[in-house]
Amino acid sequence: MIDYEKTLLDLVKPMVDDPDSVRIQTMESVNENEQIIYVYAKSEDIARLIGRQGNMASAIRQLMSVCSRLDSKHIAIKFESY
């Protein structure tokens, strides 16, 4: 089984200014084949991770969906600032 939190953290940390502020949290969904993963970071870093018109967020979600196909799961990624 793939550790989605570690994979996403390794993917996201090089993209932000303050890598120590990035936090990843997994929440279980009502659907057993779905996981919701929250990415928490400073607002400037979240803006960078989302990108213009959501292009960067879409690319991150697409990369994580490739990983999740091995486990036949659906991964939903939400970006939150603090």
Domains and CATH numbers, the chain: 4-81 (3.30.300.20)
**Tens of pLDDT along 34-46?**
999 999 999 999 9
How confident is the model at residue 28, as a pLDDT?
85
Q: Is 41 within 8 Å of 9 (Cβ atoms)? A: no
Q: Is the pLDDT of residue 70 over 90?
A: no
Q: Are strands 34-41 and 23-28 parallel, antiparallel or unpaired?
A: antiparallel
pTM of the model: 0.89
| Whole-number pLDDT of residue 1 | 60
80: β partners: 40
